Amino acid sequence: MSDQRTRPATTAELESVLRRELTTDRWAAAETAYALAVLHREQGDWTASRVWVRQCLRLLDGFPADTEEQVATRRTAVGGVPIPAYLHEGVVRARFGDPG
């Protein structure tokens, strides 16, 4: 992945990171899927953004979400994309709406 101090990661770079995370750390993969949704939205690719929103929601499904500690993110940014302090279905839907 890119050095976050010089330039944001590309969507291709983040997709590569996510593929690795899917096998090792589902929570990190959810954070990366969220970042991909943001990047695609910023690029005006609403279809791809919705795909990544759905992926993020699938990855979050099954994680407990009863306390702030359970939904607190581990990273403040992924590939240069700011990640919310708390990540759960409500936050994702509030920021992106219904992904369809």
SS (H, E, C) the chain: CCCCCCCCCCHHHHHHHHHHHHHHCHHHHHHHHHHHHHHHHHCCCHHHHHHHHHHHHHHHCCCCCCCHHHHECCCCEECCEECCCECCHHHHHHHHCCCC
pLDDT for residue 3 is more than 70: no
Instruction: State residue 6's pLDDT score.
Output: 55
pLDDT for residue 1 is more than 60: no
pLDDT for residue 5 is more than 90: no
Global pTM?
A: 0.91
pLDDT for residue 95 is more than 50: yes
Domain boundaries, given as residue ranges, for the chain: 11-96
pLDDT in tens, 26-66: 999 999 999 999 999 999 999 999 999 999 999 999 999 99
More confident residue, 34 or 7: 34
